[in-house]
């Protein structure tokens, strides 16, 4: 377990090697095998760590591994003169929630890496290495995100997965739509990151620490903010803004459908199983903060359910196989946030896990379909593929049944748990969620019907023997009709299908006799005070505020807990609680917030019924009597157009935000051009002018003076020249006058003195 730092590091190294050497030197096979090997080893380490974690008692299931001091301890003067200190270690924490996440990321990641070897086979060699480098890099960042022990390590991963999402969506960067989609994803993510970062700053400002455990412990001592919108509500709201960006909720979901421009395995990994769940994970990590801010929780639940309904409604009419799945992802993420919003953090995480399985499965199956159809993605041009791709059909059907919530597949258990918790807390949210479930079942089965059932509506193909120039089937020559995917791809499909079936078994609710193992397993992660004795781990609405009055940073081994007015019998002394734990669940299990077991079963049956109704209606519309669908489309042409155009949200954003930003950018550019450059040009002009002016002065004034002297002399010489008459008598006269003058002067002036 001390080696958990290997888990992110190995894919990171794989990315570095593939990126630096692979693009030039490795063959496609080498790059792929290298990437898969790193993921396999990381998976092995994760499994080992998980098993070791299980070996600990439930209270002690926290293990920190500090690698180095990222920000060494520095003293800080904080507001109000309080001397704090800033110390941020690069630390990983293994606890139930993060162990579940690393298993998901490494497990599904490994399968997707294997699948990618087959899927990306037709790409150029350097491109394959680049792809695997990005994919490994993504896993590195995602694992850093989920293993981080404090907000800043998590943020490194948070930003990094956004970056890798951009790189991978825009993998075919020469295609403009792909490059634009990459940009859109990154920018929408960034807007969310802004909110997230503000939240983190506020957390530090309020609590003085970045560490998850310390913050949770400190927050647990604060009162629950039911009446007013206090600091914790603001913090959690800002964190949720980050989650809307990363996990594609309203209003920042617009990047996810466009992200389907990337290769299908990318969609499977990033936009189904891992990156988009980072927001859900983050909310789960901050469970203590959220439970103390009921107003934000309500916002989370409402936004989640609105997103679920809205995305499902758009998915009803989409014709691109991947778009349907994209909107389905947005919708299911909405479900997870509903769970988080009503306080059922474990249920949300459970749905995260099952969703990862069946959504990745669905995406990979769609990738197999696309591969078999030589690049065709429009389901209207498919049909009747059941007989060409039986294995793909079977696995995709499993995924569809899982997402529709049909028992005993995994989706049923997780979705039902969420619906139950929603029913307990907020009937409106429950109603909308149930409606979304109906739509989910409908559109998924619509997808299945249009793709696999009915008669084939696609392009014609050449039978074997002709090798004409056909719409490219990679380097394999002409397309010979729809066919199954190669073995490397099928392997992943089958494994995921098994997972989709079995994953639900860890969360069988108590009402039908299971132990709801996953909820108990995950519960300590949502409590304050890491290794403190557990309080009531079930729906927090049932228990009171937790017995988490542990001082900041105190280790669990010491410290007493000032148990507030929690229900007696819940505040427990210390360790040795394991025995009490099962008995603990035994009591409230049959009494989920006051519901009887029969009612619970009734709700369960209702959710199954919703699923079956959705499937049946879709079957009727698209398999039995397709003309109903066409007629409905005509009758409801207006709403149909609105849905097909995704409620015109993208156009709205374009007209307001984008245009506004561009306008202000243009304005600033004009300012720079005119004012700033004008000043610079003006000063240059001033220099020119002053130099011209001094030139004028030099030419006329200075030279003029010089010339004046010359001309004065010349003129005077004209005058004096006349003296030289040449007449001797004139000279004699002048001599006489001179003598006369001298004698006079002598007589008058000198003699008289």
Partner 1 sequence: MVLSAALFIIGVIGVMTRRNIIVILMSIELMLNAVNINLVAFSNLWQNAAGQVFVIFVICVAAAEAAVGLGIILAFYRNKETVNIDEMSLMRW
We find the least distance from the C-beta atom of residue 742 to partner 1, in angstroms, to be 16
The whole-angstrom separation of Cα 250 and Cα 188 is 11
Is 66 in contact with 148 (CB distance < 8 Å)? no
We find the least distance from the C-beta atom of residue 698 to partner 1, in angstroms, to be 40
Helix (H) or strand (E) holding 385: none
What's 261's DSSP letter?
Answer: G
We find the least distance from the C-beta atom of residue 707 to partner 1, in angstroms, to be 27
Give start and end residues of each alpha helix (H) in 560-625: 580-589, 597-619
Give CA angle at 378 (376, 380), nearest 5°: 125
Cα dihedral sign for 353, 406, 404, 611? negative
The whole-angstrom separation of Cα 169 and Cα 177 is 10
- 727 is an interface residue for partner 1 by CB under 8 A: yes
Closest listed residue to residue 550, CA positions, set 540, 539, 535: 535
Cβ nearer to partner 1, comparing 487 with 721: 721
- 725 is an interface residue for partner 1 by CB under 8 A: yes
What's 320's DSSP letter?
Answer: B
- 728 is an interface residue for partner 1 by CB under 8 A: yes
SS3 (DSSP) at 751: coil
We find the least distance from the C-beta atom of residue 752 to partner 1, in angstroms, to be 22
Cβ nearer to partner 1, comparing 2 with 715: 715
Where does this chain touch partner 1 (CB under 8 A) — which range of 44-52, 224-232, 572-580, 730-738? 730-738
> Could you report how far apart the first and last alpha carbons of the chain are, in Å?
128
Cβ nearer to partner 1, comparing 55 with 726: 726
- 732 is an interface residue for partner 1 by CB under 8 A: yes
Of 455, 691, 729, 752, the one binding partner 1 (CB under 8 A) is: 729
E-assigned strands of 164-321? none
Cβ nearer to partner 1, comparing 701 with 728: 728
The whole-angstrom separation of Cα 361 and Cα 340 is 24
Cβ nearer to partner 1, comparing 428 with 742: 742
We find the least distance from the C-beta atom of residue 727 to partner 1, in angstroms, to be 6
The number of beta carbons lying within 10 Å of the beta carbon of residue 435 is 16
- 645 is an interface residue for partner 1 by CB under 8 A: no
Is 369 in contact with 406 (CB distance < 8 Å)? no
- Helix %, strand %, coil % of the chain (to 5): 70, 5, 25
We find the least distance from the C-beta atom of residue 710 to partner 1, in angstroms, to be 23
SS3 (DSSP) at 248: coil
We find the least distance from the C-beta atom of residue 714 to partner 1, in angstroms, to be 17
Of 81, 465, 568, 726, the one binding partner 1 (CB under 8 A) is: 726
- 749 is an interface residue for partner 1 by CB under 8 A: no
Cβ nearer to partner 1, comparing 661 with 730: 730
Give CA angle at 252 (251, 253), nearest 5°: 100
The H helix count followed by the E strand count for the chain is 30, 2
We find the least distance from the C-beta atom of residue 738 to partner 1, in angstroms, to be 13
Is 307 in contact with 249 (CB distance < 8 Å)? yes
Q: How many residues bind to partner 1 according to rule CB under 8 A?
A: 11
Of 54, 676, 713, 733, the one binding partner 1 (CB under 8 A) is: 733
Where does this chain touch partner 1 (CB under 8 A) — which range of 4-12, 204-212, 314-322, 718-726? 718-726
Is 244 in contact with 341 (CB distance < 8 Å)? no
Cβ nearer to partner 1, comparing 722 with 751: 722
The whole-angstrom separation of Cα 372 and Cα 350 is 33
- 736 is an interface residue for partner 1 by CB under 8 A: yes
Cβ nearer to partner 1, comparing 598 with 727: 727
Where does this chain touch partner 1 (CB under 8 A) — which range of 159-167, 400-408, 622-630, 716-724? 716-724
Cβ nearer to partner 1, comparing 702 with 733: 733
Is 374 in contact with 479 (CB distance < 8 Å)? yes
We find the least distance from the C-beta atom of residue 724 to partner 1, in angstroms, to be 6
Where does this chain touch partner 1 (CB under 8 A) — which range of 22-30, 207-215, 429-437, 723-731? 723-731
Of 696, 724, 749, 750, the one binding partner 1 (CB under 8 A) is: 724
Q: Which residues bind partner 1 (CB under 8 A)?
A: 721-722, 724-729, 732-733, 736
């Amino acid at each position: 377990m001390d080696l958990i730092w290997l888990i992110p590091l190995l894919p990171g190294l794989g990315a570095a090697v593939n990126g630096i050497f692979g693009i030039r030197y490795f063959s496609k096979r080498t790059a792929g095998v290298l990437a898969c090997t790193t993921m396999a080893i990381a998976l092995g380490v994760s499994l080992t760590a998980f098993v070791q974690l299980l070996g600990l008692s439930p209270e002690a299931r926290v293990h920190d591994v500090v690698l180095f001091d990222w920000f060494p301890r520095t003293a800080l003067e904080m507001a109000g003169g309080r001397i704090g200190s800033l110390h941020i270690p690069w630390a990983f924490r293994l606890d139930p929630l993060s162990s579940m996440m690393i298993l998901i990321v490494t497990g599904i990641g490994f399968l997707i890496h294997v699948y990618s070897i087959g899927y990306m086979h037709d790409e150029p060699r350097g491109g394959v290495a680049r792809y695997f480098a990005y994919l490994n890099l993504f896993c590195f960042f995602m694992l850093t995100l989920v293993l981080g022990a404090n907000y800043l390590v998590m943020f490194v991963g948070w930003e990094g997965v956004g970056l890798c999402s951009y790189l991978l969506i825009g993998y075919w960067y020469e295609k403009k739509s792909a490059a634009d989609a990459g940009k859109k994803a990154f920018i929408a993510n960034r807007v969310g990151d802004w909110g997230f970062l503000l939240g983190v700053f506020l957390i530090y400002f309020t609590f003085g620490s970045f560490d998850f455990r310390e913050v949770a412990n400190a927050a647990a001592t604060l009162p629950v903010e039911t009446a007013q919108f206090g600091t914790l509500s603001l913090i959690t709201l800002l964190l949720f803004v980050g989650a809307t960006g990363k996990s594609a909720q309203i209003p920042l979901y617009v990047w996810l459908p466009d992200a389907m421009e990337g290769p299908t395995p990318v969609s499977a990994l990033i936009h189904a199983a891992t990156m988009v769940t980072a927001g859900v994970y983050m909310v789960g990590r901050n469970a203590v903060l959220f439970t103390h801010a009921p107003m934000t929780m309500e916002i989370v639940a409402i936004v989640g359910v609105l997103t679920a309904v809205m995305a499902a409604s758009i998915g009803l009419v989409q014709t691109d196989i991947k778009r349907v799945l994209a909107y389905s992802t947005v919708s299911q993420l909405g479900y997870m946030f509903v769970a988080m919003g009503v306080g059922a953090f474990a249920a949300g995480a459970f749905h995260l896990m099952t969703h990862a399985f069946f959504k990745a499965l669905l995406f990979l199956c769609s990738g197999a379909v696309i591969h078999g159809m030589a690049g065709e993605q429009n389901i209207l041009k498919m049909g009747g593929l059941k007989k060409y791709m039986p294995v793909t059909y079977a696995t995709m059907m499993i995924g569809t049944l899982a997402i529709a919530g049909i028992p005993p597949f995994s989706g049923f258990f997780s979705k039902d748990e969420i619906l139950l918790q929603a029913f307990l807390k907020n009937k409106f949210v429950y109603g909308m969620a149930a409606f979304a479930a109906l739509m989910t079942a409908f559109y998924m089965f619509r997808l299945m019907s249009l793709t696999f059932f009915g008669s084939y509506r696609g392009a014609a193909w050449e039978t074997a023997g002709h090798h004409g120039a056909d719409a490219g089937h990679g380097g394999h020559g002409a397309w010979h009709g729809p066919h199954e995917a190669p073995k490397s791809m099928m392997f992943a499909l089958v494994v995921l299908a098994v997972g989709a079936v079995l994953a639900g078994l860890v969360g069988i609710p108590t009402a039908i006799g299971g132990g709801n193992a996953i909820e108990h397993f995950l519960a300590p992660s949502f409590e304050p005070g890491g290794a403190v004795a557990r309080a009531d781990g079930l729906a927090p609405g049932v228990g009171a505020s937790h017995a988490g009055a542990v001082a900041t940073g105190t280790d669990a081994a010491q410290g007493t807990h000032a148990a507030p007015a929690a229900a007696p019998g819940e505040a427990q002394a210390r360790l040795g609680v394991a025995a009490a734990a099962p008995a603990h669940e035994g009591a409230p299990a049959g009494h989920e917030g006051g519901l009887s077991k029969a009612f619970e079963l009734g709700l369960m049956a209702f959710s199954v019924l919703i699923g079956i109704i959705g499937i049946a209606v879709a079957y009727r519309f698209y398999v039995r009597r397709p003309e109903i669908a066409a007629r409905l489309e005509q009758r409801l042409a207006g709403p149909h157009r609105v849905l097909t155009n995704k409620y015109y949200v993208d156009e709205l954003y374009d007209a307001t935000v984008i245009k506004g930003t561009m306008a202000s950018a243009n304005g600033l550019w004009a300012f720079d051009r005119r004012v700033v450059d004008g000043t610079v040009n003006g000063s240059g002009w001033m220099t020119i002018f002053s130099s011209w002016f001094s030139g004028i002065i030099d030419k006329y004034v200075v030279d003029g003076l010089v010339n004046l002297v010359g001309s004065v002399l010349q003129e005077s010489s004209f005058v004096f020249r006349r003296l030289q008459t040449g007449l001797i008598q004139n000279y004699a006269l002048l001599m006489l006058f001179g003598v006369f003058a001298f004698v006079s002067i002598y007589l008058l002036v000198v003699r008289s003195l």
